[in-house]
Structure 1
């Protein structure tokens, strides 16, 4: 089939509805994204440049009265900023747990949001993303979304926790730097550990790495504890860091650490990477594992960092077939990105049957980003995230790249609203960073006009190759 034929009614389409019941997208407080009882699905994946994306799952009707591992949710009706909450019970399609039983606290229906002032202050100080964390949190706060989430403070990861993946000598060196004032004294050792141009050294880097990785670990712990089915850490998502080296602005790989934490309970964990750069650090960590599947959709072009993530990179040993790469070229647009990614994810979910998901939402594929690669808008990210969330699996949402701070804040605020079941107003509310959103002062991100060098024939070839590989996969 033509993966980009959005009017297709073939059975393969993950958007083909099997029931007439209105679609329920996660939030334990959500039923808001352009649903109405009299609207029937057309069996298509709708890609809009406005504020909605109607993504549907190819799953049979679930008997709500017979399943005991149900998830309690709250349905919210939204009129811009006004909310009315009405309780209802909806079955999780994969039996994911959220404080099950009648004693479930009301707050357990809300997404977890990792935040405190020190975390934002540490992230704001990093050279490549100055003040980005403050802009993201301030916009989320300005839209009134904080009250719809459980705000959980991060903690610092211990050396032992970071050494669950990273080499002891590397973590020891980061700690050593924190006790020094003469950074040039360690130039030679810094080069050895990748602490150069992309990852400049400073005596704050150890505290930053410990806190950001601890924040993602705390988010994963909230999922393990059943505090919610979704946890958000926009200060995480640093996917390039290797076992013994920093790389690509990433000092400690909080993603690998959080996946290892989720593996303490969940046998199979799916990692989805939406960053414009290949998630090489995470892929390298799990390429030989059959228990973690990595899916990275990224730009793959000569000279573009990190240069890995080709179509034929499919894992090694027991992990063969558990690494999926979707390599793209400049100019990718929403209308090709969404159906390609969602249909690959649909097949991944079918064959791998994940029990938990980690999704990195690096925003450097947005139009206007200094990476100057894709033409994506917030809608592309929203559609992919909604598609994942409707599986009702424990899901960890992380940040990552995104070097146009205002657009990154726009995108992640919109995703936060989607997770909370809210359709945010178009106009940016007045707040500390209001002037950064000029000249239009609106939340939606317009698509870019970079020439699209992704031919449909090549994208279809990529899709066919991935599906052929996944069809051969046997999950233990």
Structure 2
């Protein structure tokens, strides 16, 4: 099952902001033009209510998100710093609707998996892993991942969360730091003040959740072979130890080579190899997006990964679509990593 809201790609964080929801429209266009929609059920998702968001977030924070607009922002001066809204996480037109769309899609994906309507649910608009209970962080306002996992926990005794974004999945780790029912596994760049500054290997969880947070800090420049050499045994070990009945995979595409904010050297095939490996574990799977700031490569990766999840090979020649010029000069799904 694949969730797509035709409005989700039309929001703008603001001029010069690296997070561009338009990448979602470009991804969807490729998925459609490759004909992948024929192989899956495509749903217009449910929109999350404030009640849904408050399963994790505080009521005062969600109430603020619902009410603040670029027009009335001056009346919220105190709240802006209190809720960490401003530079990285600006107030933009339709902010609450945007959160409602991407969160609703992740939540509905979890519900469909719980009801055994599908084996894999895909929401490329989700995966906003930095948002905290009381505040926004790192371009993320509502933590759709945490809300989806809370839904999965109604049916699943143990849920495994895997994060291949270049940034540490701090918001998800923090939410489940004290429980043994969710294991969080994050592979990320760590050190040199790289955002968010957390995720060293000694953050293990606490109380009942001790040893249920796994962090794999990596240096810049890591390539496909080295990444997979770490990824595969870590996941195999985690599977053996934790024995989850369900997996949530955050596929942040800022770990790709050439990302505007990233510094890893993964190819689209290399990033996809991790997704394929998780699919082959054969458990119910919720697949989410995340970071990714070079729009053409985000669209390439998530389209290719959609094809891998469907086990449906696609041509490396990009089909003509309304964003065709984004993929110049080579118009290939798999550009060379330099």
The answer as to 2:294 corresponding to 1:401 is: no
Q: Secondary structure at the match of 1:409?
A: helix
Q: Is the 8 A contact 1:190 1:201 kept in 2?
A: no
Partner of 2:83 in structure 1?
A: 193
- Out of 114, 120, 125, the residue aligned to residue 9 of structure 2 is 120
Deviation string 1:64-107 (CA, Å, 9 cap, x unpaired) is xxxxxxxxxxxxxxxxxxxxxxxxxxxxxxxxxxxxxxxxxxxx
Q: Is the 8 A contact 1:232 1:397 kept in 2?
A: yes
Question: How far off its partner does 1:212 sit?
Answer: 1.0
Q: Is the 8 A contact 1:212 1:236 kept in 2?
A: yes
Q: Is the 8 A contact 1:198 1:248 kept in 2?
A: yes
Question: How far off its partner does 1:118 sit?
Answer: 2.3
Q: Secondary structure at the match of 2:186?
A: strand
Partner of 1:169 in structure 2?
A: 60
Q: Is the 8 A contact 1:213 1:254 kept in 2?
A: yes
Partner of 2:175 in structure 1?
A: 285
TM-score using structure 1 length: 0.69
Q: Is the 8 A contact 2:13 2:91 kept in 1?
A: no
Partner of 2:231 in structure 1?
A: 341
Structure 2: gaps of 5 or more residues: none
Question: How far off its partner does 1:422 sit?
Answer: 1.4
- Out of 265, 274, 299, the residue aligned to residue 155 of structure 2 is 265
Give runs of aligned pairs for residues 306-325 of structure 1, distance below 5 A. 306-325=196-215
Structure 1: gaps of 5 or more residues: 1-111, 449-476
Q: Secondary structure at the match of 1:129?
A: coil
Partner of 1:442 in structure 2?
A: 332
User: d(CA) in 2 for partners of 1:440 and 1:119?
Assistant: 28
User: d(CA) in 1 for partners of 2:47 and 2:167?
Assistant: 27
User: d(CA) in 2 for partners of 1:245 and 1:130?
Assistant: 20
TM-score using structure 2 length: 0.96
Question: How far off its partner does 1:348 sit?
Answer: 0.2
Q: Is the 8 A contact 2:267 2:337 kept in 1?
A: yes
Partner of 1:332 in structure 2?
A: 222
User: d(CA) in 2 for partners of 1:116 and 1:308?
Assistant: 33
CA shift in 2, pair 1:396/1:210, >3 Å: same
User: d(CA) in 1 for partners of 2:306 and 2:262?
Assistant: 25
Q: Secondary structure at the match of 1:364?
A: helix
Q: Is the 8 A contact 1:271 1:295 kept in 2?
A: yes
Aligned residues: 334
Deviation string 1:130-179 (CA, Å, 9 cap, x unpaired) is 4111111001111110111101111111111111100111001111115x
Question: How far off its partner does 1:318 sit?
Answer: 0.5
Partner of 2:322 in structure 1?
A: 432
User: d(CA) in 2 for partners of 1:382 and 1:328?
Assistant: 18
Displaced runs of 4 or more, over 3 A: none
